[in-house]
């Protein structure tokens, strides 16, 4: 072993948090191994626990996510929004910051579900609305429901974790950049290495691997199914391993290059291709219809936002309570829980790239700017799919009935276009690059979790978790035909549900700190009540949370 290799190994050994690394790795690999030993037993146990959680805590997930959205909107328009995450200037331009946040957060899911999700709501509308399945009235409601699921609420749980982790890590002396740091005022700085904090960080590792690998398994299957559907290339299990190995190699190279050279550049490319494909679909597709239905769906989402957020299915008009509750659990509660399973990784990554930005900038980018990109995508891509199905231009019947996977919807849609092969190739490239950016940013986040908060983990650490993530995604794709993929997806939900309460406590931690240390920040920049204990101060009056940006900046 060369001297440099010895140095790299020594750096890896010195940087890791042994408790979080070992327990996180053993828990993740243990679940994977259990599927090979007794998949049926594990599947039954996870399904039972999943059903119990969804049946008893659906109201809690709906309420917590709704309250977090309101709090972030308050941060955007209120005086606390001027608080900065540290003293340093922002590391990245706003466009790069936005592209990384969007690409690494949930854009892979946006691409996967874009052509598909509205079709399910068109066929089976939410019981909250009195619309018949497959009717013209169901079309705008289907788009509206899709926009609701992929705009503010999902993004909110990522953003609140990012703000909380970044604020306490960058504005206090001895707070590391890790998930448990979001609860600093509640558990105390002296207890950040205690058992409670360790449990949160271990669960964060497991939730990230489970949630992200499940998602990447679906994205990878979209790539595989696309090759099979369009060109008749049946990859088989060996082919799946080769494809995932190639993608793992790509995102590992991107990850080792670092945020600036790897993730930033690929994220910028993703957003350009994303916009090009969306605009081209708008032009080639039913342009006037998409404009009209988009306005109606957006207006409906805003008007019905509160009722859609808090709808549990109880007392639903036009449907029995059990049926309505099942619909809500199958869709809205499932999405919130799945997003929560991503919240540790997404929050930590957002914190990593947000140093020097204000709370308002992060909150605005996290839920408003990203929604501004997501809403047109689902309106255009999803709206074109529904229009094509309703008017007989394309046949998604097998997808809606469950006889064909949702993976093929994009290819069914684009083959009806002029130059359909070009659209499908662009779609496959977008799927692949979003796979890579989601994988490398999540792997970076897991590496940071297992080092106790180091912003730039060693290459060995990142490569280890990259391989684990790639292996898990490959296993999900191979086992997908047996239903095991759905079971691990449920496992991600089970792990994500506790993070609803972690996100809620993170919000309370911010309120406690901002309220006690800043008091009332006047809009005219006249008064900021000052506390003590910050990492740093600026010329602008500041409290323990650090500097407050002037309105004149």
In a domain, 173, yes or no: yes
Torsion of CA 425, 427, 432, 436, to 10 degrees: 140
The pLDDT assigned to 528 comes to 40
In a domain, 65, yes or no: yes
| 175 C-beta neighbours (distance < 10 Å), count | 20
The pLDDT assigned to 134 comes to 93
Residues 87, 536: contact at Cβ < 8 Å? yes
Looking at per-residue pLDDT, the higher value among 129 and 54 belongs to: 129
Q: What is the mean pLDDT of the chain?
A: 81
* Whether pLDDT at 485 is above 80: no
Per-residue burial over 347-367, b if 16 or more Cβ lie within 10 Å, else e, is bbbbbbbbbbbbbbbbbbbbb
Between the two ends of the chain, the Cα-to-Cα distance in Å is 53
* Whether pLDDT at 224 is above 80: no
Across the range 82-98, mean pLDDT stands at: 91
The string of pLDDT tens digits covering residues 520-530 is: 544 444 434 33
Question: What are the helix (H) ranges across 396-483?
Answer: 397-401, 409-414, 420-449, 459-479
The pLDDT assigned to 548 comes to 42
The percentage of the chain sitting over the pLDDT mark of 70, rounded to a whole number, equals 77
Residues 106, 367: contact at Cβ < 8 Å? no
Q: What is the DSSP string of 328-377?
A: HIIIIIHHHHHHHHHHHHHHHHHHHH-TT-BHHHHHIIIIIIHHHHHHHH
By mean pLDDT, which of 48-52, 182-186, 221-225, 325-329 is the weakest? Answer: 221-225
The pLDDT assigned to 26 comes to 82
In a domain, 536, yes or no: no
By mean pLDDT, which of 84-98, 173-187, 358-372, 435-449 is the weakest? Answer: 435-449
* Whether pLDDT at 494 is above 90: no
Rank 33-37, 235-239, 329-333 by mean pLDDT and report only the highest. Answer: 329-333
In a domain, 552, yes or no: no
Looking at per-residue pLDDT, the higher value among 71 and 107 belongs to: 71
The pLDDT assigned to 106 comes to 64
CA distance 178 to 454: 8
The string of pLDDT tens digits covering residues 332-349 is: 998 898 888 889 888 988
Helix (H) or strand (E) holding 80: none
The pLDDT assigned to 537 comes to 40
3-class DSSP state for residue 109? Answer: helix
Residues 147, 301: contact at Cβ < 8 Å? yes
* Whether pLDDT at 139 is above 90: yes
The pLDDT assigned to 220 comes to 66
Query: How many angstroms separate the most distant Cα atoms in the chain?
Result: 72
* Whether pLDDT at 388 is above 90: yes
CA distance 67 to 167: 20
Across the range 478-500, mean pLDDT stands at: 65
The percentage of the chain sitting over the pLDDT mark of 90, rounded to a whole number, equals 38
Residues 445, 166: contact at Cβ < 8 Å? no
Rounded to 10°, the helix 334-353/195-231 angle is 110
User: In terms of residue numbers, what domain contains 171?
Assistant: 3-518
Backbone conformation region of residue 85, classed left if phi is above 0, alpha if psi is from -120 to 50, else beta? beta
CATH number of the domain that residue 505 is part of? 1.20.1740.10
* Whether pLDDT at 183 is above 90: yes
Across the range 313-332, mean pLDDT stands at: 75
Residue 48 pLDDT level (bands cut at 50, 70, 90) = confident
Cβ-Cβ contacts under 8 Å for 36 (sequence gap 6 or more): none
The pLDDT assigned to 479 comes to 60
In a domain, 100, yes or no: yes
The pLDDT assigned to 223 comes to 67
CA distance 341 to 100: 19
* Whether pLDDT at 307 is above 90: yes
CA distance 74 to 91: 25
For the chain, what is the domain count? 1
In a domain, 91, yes or no: yes
The pLDDT assigned to 252 comes to 67
Question: What are the helix (H) ranges across 78-194?
Answer: 94-105, 107-113, 117-123, 138-150, 152-171, 184-187
φ and ψ at residue 543, rounded to 5 degrees? -105, -170
Beta-ladder partners of 546: 543
pTM for the model stands at: 0.85
> Which of 544, 467, 449, 402 has the alpha carbon at shortest distance from 176?
449
In a domain, 326, yes or no: yes
Rank 106-110, 440-444, 463-467 by mean pLDDT and report only the highest. Answer: 463-467
Residue 173 pLDDT level (bands cut at 50, 70, 90) = confident
Looking at per-residue pLDDT, the higher value among 218 and 318 belongs to: 218
Q: What is the DSSP string of 2-62?
A: -HHHHHHHHHHHHHS-HHHHHHHHHHHHHHHHHHHH-HHHHHHHHHHHHHHHHHHHHHHHH
Beta-ladder partners of 83: 548
Residues 533, 376: contact at Cβ < 8 Å? no
Residue 216 pLDDT level (bands cut at 50, 70, 90) = low
* Whether pLDDT at 402 is above 50: yes
Looking at per-residue pLDDT, the higher value among 179 and 469 belongs to: 179
CA distance 168 to 165: 6
Residue 486 pLDDT level (bands cut at 50, 70, 90) = low
Cβ-Cβ contacts under 8 Å for 218 (sequence gap 6 or more): 112, 407, 476, 485
In a domain, 299, yes or no: yes
């Amino acid at each position: 072993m060369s001297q440099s290799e010895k140095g790299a190994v020594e750096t890896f050994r010195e940087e890791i948090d042994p408790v979080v690394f070992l327990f996180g790795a053993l828990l993740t690999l243990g679940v994977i191994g259990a599927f090979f030993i007794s998949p049926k037993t594990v599947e039954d146990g996870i399904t039972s626990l999943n059903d119990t959680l969804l049946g008893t805590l659906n109201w809690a997930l709906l309420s917590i996510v709704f309250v977090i959205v309101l709090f972030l909107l308050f941060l955007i328009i209120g005086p606390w929004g001027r608080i900065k995450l540290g003293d340093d200037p922002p590391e990245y331009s706003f466009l790069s910051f936005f592209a990384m946040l969007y690409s690494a957060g949930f854009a892979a899911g946006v691409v996967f579900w874009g052509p598909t999700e509205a079709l399910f709501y068109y066929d089976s509308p939410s019981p909250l609305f009195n619309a018949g399945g497959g009717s013209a009235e169901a079309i705008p409601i289907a788009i509206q429901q899709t926009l609701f699921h992929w705009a503010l609420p999902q993004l909110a749980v990522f953003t609140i974790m990012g703000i909380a982790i970044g604020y306490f890590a960058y504005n206090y002396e001895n707070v590391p950049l890790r998930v448990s740091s979001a609860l600093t005022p509640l558990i105390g700085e002296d207890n950040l290495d205690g058992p409670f904090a360790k449990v949160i960080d271990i669960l964060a590792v497991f939730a990230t691997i489970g949630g992200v690998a499940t998602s990447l398994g679906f994205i990878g299957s979209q790539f595989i199914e696309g090759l099979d559907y369009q060109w008749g290339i049946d990859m088989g299990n060996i082919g799946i391993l080769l494809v995932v190995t190639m993608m793992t190699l790509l995102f590992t190279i991107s990850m080792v290059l670092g945020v600036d050279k790897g993730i930033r550049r690929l994220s910028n490319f993703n957003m350009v291709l994303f916009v090009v494909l969306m605009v081209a679909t708008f032009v080639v597709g039913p342009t006037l219809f998409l404009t009209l239905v988009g306005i109606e769906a957006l207006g409906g989402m805003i008007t019905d936002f509160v009722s859609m957020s808090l709808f549990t299915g109880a007392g639903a008009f036009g449907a029995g309570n059990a049926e309505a509750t099942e619909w809500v659990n199958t869709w809205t509660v499932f999405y919130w829980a799945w997003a929560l399973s991503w919240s540790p990784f997404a929050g930590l990554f957002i914190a990593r790239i947000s140093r020097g930005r204000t709370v308002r900038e992060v909150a605005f980018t996290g839920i408003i700017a990203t929604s501004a990109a997501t809403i047109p995508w689902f309106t255009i891509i999803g709206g074109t799919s529904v229009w094509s199905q309703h008017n007989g231009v394309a046949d998604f019947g097998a997808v809606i009935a469950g006889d064909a996977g949702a993976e093929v919807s994009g290819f069914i849609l684009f083959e009806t276009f002029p130059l359909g092969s070009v659209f499908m190739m662009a779609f496959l490239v977008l799927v692949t690059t979003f796979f890579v950016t989601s994988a490398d940013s999540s792997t970076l986040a897991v590496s940071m979790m297992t080092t106790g908060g180091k912003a730039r983990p060693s290459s060995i650490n990142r490569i280890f978790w990259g391989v684990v993530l790639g292996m898990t995604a490959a296993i999900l794709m191979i086992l997908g035909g047996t239903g095991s993929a759905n079971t691990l997806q449920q496992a991600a939900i089970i792990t994500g549900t506790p993070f609803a309460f972690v996100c809620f406590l993170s919000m309370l931690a911010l309120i406690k700190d901002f309220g006690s240390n800043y008091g009332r920040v006047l809009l005219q920049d006249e008064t900021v009540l000052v506390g003590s204990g910050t990492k740093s101060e600026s010329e602008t009056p500041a409290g323990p949370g650090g500097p407050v940006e002037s309105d004149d900046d």
